[in-house]
Structure 1
Amino acid sequence: MTAPRALSPRARRLRAAVALLALALVAPLAIGATPTPTPDPVRAAEYWIEGAHIDAAWKTTRGAGVTIAVIDTGIANGPNAFQGAVSDGTDVSGIGSEDGRTPLGPLDSDHGSRVASLAAGRPNADGTGMIGVAPEAKLLSISLGFGTTAPVPFTKQVADAMRWAVDHGANVINLSFTTNTLDWDRSWDDAFLYAFEHDVVVVVAAGNRGSGTAMVGAPATIPGVLAVGGVDQRGVASKAASTQGISIAVSAPSESLLGVDADGTVETWNGTSGAAPIVAGVVALVRAAHPDMDANNVINQIIQTARRAPQATAHPDPLYGYGLVDAAAAVSTVQPPVDQNPLGDLADWVRLHRRAQAPAPTPATSTPVPIPPLPKADAPAKAVSPLIPSPDSLLYGTLPLVALTLPGILIALGVTAAARRIRSARASARQNPDD
């Protein structure tokens, strides 16, 4: 997001017209495509339309019958780009309008309008002006309150917005923001699972190094989301308007983008906040061309048909993911079907890391063995003095002791008397030697 501008609407329109003219003259087409000459400088500046083969995909579909939910600052009510495009909306912040069409935010309230215009903006009645990737898709406007101005916690706003979008018919949800942290609030587990279980593709911006995001942050780290990195007009990973991380699925243009502001002005801007709705629009084209294809296979179409970036060193690559999004290939080339999301299973992640569904303890199946009751204890004896002999002490102590001691004494006396007689006899013999 960018800081608010102090220019007047007239000055802004003049500056935008000059910038668009310059961009139309000098901006190369992404990934080496050749631009088609056009008298409309706005349309000529949308280099990604031909660069990502979106115009070729339009030969098959323009997204009719698909609904894209933009969970952001709100889609403005006035611009022609959104006339007939927004089918419903709400506010989850507590400070916006009930229909979600009042742009919110002290820094960049135009953000949600720009995102929506890239995904599914309508051109002017004469066919000129900015056009979105899926110009016949419907939009849902869900306004968030970023920062501390909203009375509802941000994590709760996002969870509520996800559920509201699913319940109101979203086939695609676009989230062009990051929390700059790898982890996410536990309430998002159920909210994102709710979307996946209802066959919704969730597209998320990877974040921008230029705004301080060195690595991909949540919600782009949530398993199963389609995280989008950014490239410049040549298809090279953007140094400022993108970030890196193993969860990036595909890349799309993120530099010198166009977007419709709340007052209808077409402005230039940068960031994966714009790359994400380009991919969300391509998802809408695929879903319109293949209405029976489930979300897992739509995602597989997007990543398997992406063109590998020449600078990529791995597949998937931490800068480019599976490659540069190719709308025509995604719409027309049907990949072998898959039975699970190729970008991960959030339910499995929750089981492993949250331990939310740990198995209950198994009840004991053995039968307890009955144990007979113990006999009653003897009644306590009457307390007596330990100095007074008791019957037991006399019977088992004193009498045995007397019985053993008395014979010993008698034997000792007998031995002593015999010894005395012997000594006496010997003494008498010595005194009468002649006898």
Structure 2
Amino acid sequence: MARAAAVATVATTIALVGAAPAHADTVRDLEYWLTDYGFTTAWNTTRGEGVTVAIIDTGVNGNVAELRGAVVGGTDVSGIGSPDGQTPVGDDPNHGTMVASLLAGRGTGEGNGVIGIAPQADLLTVSVAFGQDTGAEKSNDDQIAEAVKWAVDSGADVINMSLTRNTRDWPESWDEAFLYAFEHDVVIVAAAGNRGSGTSEVGAPATIPGVLTVAGVDKEKNASFDASSQGITIAVAAPSEDLVGVLPDGSYVQWSGTSAAAPIVSGLAALVRSEYPELSAANVIERLIRTADPHGQSVPSPLYGWGIIDPVPALTADVPEIEDNPLGSLAAWITLHRRADAPTSEGGDESQEVVPIADPPLPRSDEAKTLLPTAWTLAYITVPLSLVAGFGTLAALLGIGATRHTRRTVRTREQ
């Protein structure tokens, strides 16, 4: 059965020793994307002040040092968390706090601790119970629908969803919730999923028209093999490997996956909304995709969408305004696909369980890479050689059969 899921990541706890300043500086030094992508320059324009971002996830602990003062509201839709949404729930309770720190972490002092993409944006947290047998009072699909509506009603300008249903379709309850968000001019950002954890193609909510879907790239800005996915609904790509976040207990973790790439893009959307408060959600998205680096690809491509995010041009470039969301219209999709006489898509309205996706595999050593088959060796060496060997064997068998038949014929004639 297809399942909704938190977009899982590879996470490795960072063990740091020494005095507090050295401890914090080491963490900040690991945030390569801040300088490599120009976010430190973008902060000369804005740091996200005046914008509210909702994180629909496992709950955000706003008491960790980096998030004190960042979380301004919250709720729980699972029935098993705290009313303020700050008690982590589900099988992967670390997930929401990690996402929040990467999006809007304040650091722990000048040059210390984890600082997010939009360090002056406000956060809302909605705790959802990802996992099986969590004791949640509502179905997983109903939790998501309720979470989206609550975020809109609570003043969210951007909603981050580092989760997937693992199916391209979605229930009708999501039609109403997401349409409600779009009608209230909210930017919704969703993770594409991770190929390394079995998500070979993008699933909902990343397939919903109008949603800003995020793929992942490695440190060299090439499409990540394990920590990303592919699909025609991808809008942009962002760093998804070796990122740093904060756990609910205040310790630090290095992690990979589009769960981490999505809050980077949500943070950038917050920066754009802060700099251009009059822009509609459609035009915020337009700025992000039109200023993205296509990375030598025709756009939109199934790996990078319109390209890899480029923060400084997103905030400073002259981008003509548009009327409609460049990523499509959910209202138009509903009119076309939810007709009364149309058959219900298989599994579309079935309530799905929310469980964490298995983590992408850890990187193999160079020695292991030389011994194990890769996608390239399978495509260009193993498969062709197997075909040649198969045809050769068939030809040999046919030749042997023909020789035996000829000998029998000759013997018959001689007799």
What is the TM-score of this pair, normalised by structure 1? Answer: 0.73
Task: Give the aligned partner of residue 157 of structure 1.
Answer: 143
Equivalent residue letter for 1:159 = A
Q: Is the 8 A contact 2:52 2:122 kept in 1?
A: yes
Task: Give the aligned partner of residue 45 of structure 1.
Answer: 30
Task: Give the aligned partner of residue 339 of structure 1.
Answer: 323
Cα distance 1:346–1:256, how it changes in 2: closer, same or farther (>3 A)? same
Pairwise CA distance, 1:169: 0.6
What is the TM-score of this pair, normalised by structure 2? Answer: 0.77
Task: Give the aligned partner of residue 126 of structure 1.
Answer: 110
Pairwise CA distance, 1:17: 2.4
Q: Is the 8 A contact 1:220 1:227 kept in 2?
A: yes
More relative contact order in 1 or in 2 (CA 8 Å, sep 6+)?
2
Pairwise CA distance, 1:128: 1.1
Distance in 1, Cα, partners of 2:324 & 2:260: 28
Pairwise CA distance, 1:55: 1.1
Indicate yes or no: 2:115 matched with 1:116.
no
Q: Is the 8 A contact 2:10 2:256 kept in 1?
A: no
Indicate yes or no: 2:46 matched with 1:61.
yes
Equivalent residue letter for 2:16 = A
Task: Give the aligned partner of residue 313 of structure 2.
Answer: 329
Task: Give the aligned partner of residue 339 of structure 2.
Answer: 355
Task: Give the aligned partner of residue 98 of structure 1.
Answer: 83
Any unmatched runs of 5+ in structure 2? 1-6, 343-415
Cα distance 1:63–1:356, how it changes in 2: closer, same or farther (>3 A)? farther
Pairwise CA distance, 1:120: 0.6
Pairwise CA distance, 1:126: 3.3
Equivalent residue letter for 1:288 = S
Residue 144 of structure 1 is aligned with which of 119, 128, 136? 128
Any unmatched runs of 5+ in structure 1? 6-11, 19-23, 25-38, 359-435
Output the aligned Cα RMSD. Answer: 2.1
Pairwise CA distance, 1:77: 3.4
Distance in 2, Cα, partners of 1:257 & 1:235: 14
Query: What is the DSSP-based 3-state SS (H/G/I as helix, E as strand, rest coil) of the residue aligned with 1:16?
Result: coil
Residue 204 of structure 1 is aligned with which of 179, 190, 198? 190
Distance in 1, Cα, partners of 2:124 & 2:184: 17
Pairwise CA distance, 1:127: 3.6
Equivalent residue letter for 1:298 = V
Q: Is the 8 A contact 1:233 1:253 kept in 2?
A: yes
State, as a whole percentage, how many aligned pairs show the same letter.
56
Cα distance 1:174–1:48, how it changes in 2: closer, same or farther (>3 A)? same
Query: What is the DSSP-based 3-state SS (H/G/I as helix, E as strand, rest coil) of the residue aligned with 1:183?
Result: coil
Task: Give the aligned partner of residue 387 of structure 1.
Answer: none
Distance in 2, Cα, partners of 1:144 & 1:227: 20
Equivalent residue letter for 1:71 = I
User: Equivalences for 1:31-430 in 2 at 5 Å?
Assistant: 40-106=25-91, 108-148=92-132, 149=134, 150-310=136-296, 312=297, 314-355=298-339
Q: Is the 8 A contact 1:78 1:263 kept in 2?
A: no
Equivalent residue letter for 1:264 = G
Cα distance 1:357–1:277, how it changes in 2: closer, same or farther (>3 A)? farther
Query: What is the DSSP-based 3-state SS (H/G/I as helix, E as strand, rest coil) of the residue aligned with 1:302?
Result: helix
Pairwise CA distance, 1:78: 2.5
Q: Is the 8 A contact 1:16 1:268 kept in 2?
A: no
Equivalent residue letter for 1:252 = A
State the Cα deviation string for residues 218-245 of structure 1 (Å, max 9, x = none): 0000000000000000000000000000
Distance in 1, Cα, partners of 2:110 & 2:234: 38
Task: Give the aligned partner of residue 400 of structure 1.
Answer: none
Cα distance 1:95–1:3, how it changes in 2: closer, same or farther (>3 A)? farther
Distance in 2, Cα, partners of 1:50 & 1:126: 16
Alignment length (residue pairs): 330
Distance in 2, Cα, partners of 1:54 & 1:126: 16
Query: What is the DSSP-based 3-state SS (H/G/I as helix, E as strand, rest coil) of the residue aligned with 1:62?
Result: coil
**Deviant stretches of 4+, over 2 Å:** 1-5, 15-18
Distance in 1, Cα, partners of 2:35 & 2:320: 27
Distance in 1, Cα, partners of 2:322 & 2:157: 19
State the Cα deviation string for residues 121-167 of structure 1 (Å, max 9, x = none): 11113341110000000000100011231221010000000000000
